[in-house]
Amino acid sequence: MRIPFGTISVTKESRKLINEALDSVRLSSGRLVKEFETKFAALTGTREAVAVSTGTDADILALAVLHDFGARRGDEVIVPALSFVATGNAVVHAGFKPVFVDIERHTLNIDPKKIERVITKKTRAIMPVHLMGKPAEMDAINKIAKRHNLFVVEDAAEAHGAVYKGRNVGTLGDLAAYSTYIAHIITTIEGGIVTTDREDFAEVLRSLRSHGRACKCKVCVMNCGAASYCDKRFKYGAGSDIRFVFERIGYSCKMNELEAAVGIGSMTNYRKIIAKRHANLISMIEKFQKFSPWLYTIKEEKHERIGPHAFAIIRGEKAPFSRNELGLYLEKAGIDTRHLFSSMPTQCPGFAYLGHKLGDFPNAEYMGDNGLHIGVHQDLGASHVNYFIHTVEGFLREKGLAF
């Protein structure tokens, strides 16, 4: 049996929309991107959603917005030490300095108790990551942010469908950045999207994704085919063409129509997909408990619903084997694995310039050395879960371990 990490299905609806877009020869951002944004906002429960070309771009633009609201280049953004490296990269690309905080081992998320000690006069935002789809402790984070007048930007890349105390992830801060990369639940193959309840944030986001130009209407009459003429186009200043007026430093990261078509189709069966993936995740969590103390995973608490992105496998401190030994065993058995990321400031050389050293972020570093994750996607079922558990049993027996 094989257990691939991820899956994707391009629905009949998506194929139809792709063909319509090809026939119309309208392939850049337009009507379908707007439809995808509208449906995504409705799904998460926010007023606005702005689609971009990658999840990393979603992180970057969600932070870059803050330059229009008092932030300055070189200011600081607090992020967890453990995440996919895109989180830290985005802070730098948005013009800020990443300030790292260690995580809690039992949640994989930023430790709220350690946040205030790194806040300075230059801190402008906290960017919690809902790693593996498990919601960060947003009540504590928001209280800290309010006390220090900071923005909160959720990195919700892996948290499609996650719920925290009755509220959807993506609605818990000032903005939230999602990935719609192929590995995620709602996918546009490549892509990302930023959600917010603030119209002024959304306007700036639409400018940022298109070089910082003054065009930032929610619906572009020219791009969406409603009209061939825009009555705002030549009314900026002394008759200047608004499309060549650039109000801020921007980026070039628009989503295209073909990607949006895939995304619209992937939302058709969203509820069924979430239910199937969540059932797989919970089954794995329950069956995995018997492997303690050699191996453990995160848990779903009563106040939350984990967005079922993947299943975390963490080597216990007393286990007489390495993470890589287990990973190789699983791979040879046909189970795709991925490392559980790294401590960005101390295990990713790109951040060496910040001067951190090994030992500064012990919990994140532990996960970087001892964590794996595997898929829980909708093409898997009870037989795959049982095969995975049976394979882990076999590995531990070979090591002479009781469980």
328: domain CATH number is 3.90.1150.10
The pLDDT assigned to 294 comes to 98
Q: Distance of CA 70 to CAs 59, 64, 65, 146, 151, Å?
A: 18, 11, 10, 16, 11
Q: What is the DSSP letter of 129?
A: B
The pLDDT assigned to 229 comes to 76
- Does residue 125 surpass a pLDDT of 90? yes
Task: Please give the average per-residue pLDDT across 388-398, as a whole number.
Answer: 98
The pLDDT assigned to 225 comes to 67
Residues 223 and 197 in one domain: yes
Tens digits of residue pLDDT in 143-187 = 999 999 999 999 999 999 999 999 999 999 999 999 999 989 999
Tens digits of residue pLDDT in 12-62 = 999 999 999 999 888 888 899 999 999 999 999 999 999 999 999 999 999
Residue 276 contacts by C-beta under 8 Å, 6 or more apart in sequence?
A: 378, 381
**At which of 266, 299, 328 does a domain end?**
266
Residues 351 and 261 in one domain: no
Residues 210 and 168 in one domain: yes
The pLDDT assigned to 219 comes to 82
Structure-token pair, residue 250:
């921007």
Q: What is the DSSP letter of 297?
A: -
Q: Compute φ and ψ for 375, nearest 5 degrees.
A: -75, 155
Residues 87 and 171 in one domain: yes
The pLDDT assigned to 224 comes to 74
Calpha distance 175→204 (Å, rounded): 12
What is the model's pTM? Answer: 0.95
**At which of 249, 266, 283 does a domain end?**
266
- Does residue 98 surpass a pLDDT of 80? yes
Residue 244 contacts by C-beta under 8 Å, 6 or more apart in sequence?
A: 213
Calpha distance 29→324 (Å, rounded): 43
Residues 216 and 155 in one domain: yes
Quick check: is 4 in a domain? no
Residues 116 and 255 in one domain: yes
Tens digits of residue pLDDT in 180-196 = 999 899 999 999 999 99
Residues 228 and 97 in one domain: yes
Quick check: is 34 in a domain? yes
Q: Domain range spanning residue 306?
A: 270-398
CATH number at residue 262: 3.40.640.10
Q: Please, is 224 exposed, middle or buried when counting C-beta atoms within 10 Å of its C-beta (0-12, 13-18, 19+)?
A: middle
Task: Evaluate whether 148 touches 123 at the Cβ level (below 8 Å).
Answer: yes
> What DSSP element (H or E) covers 82?
strand 82-83
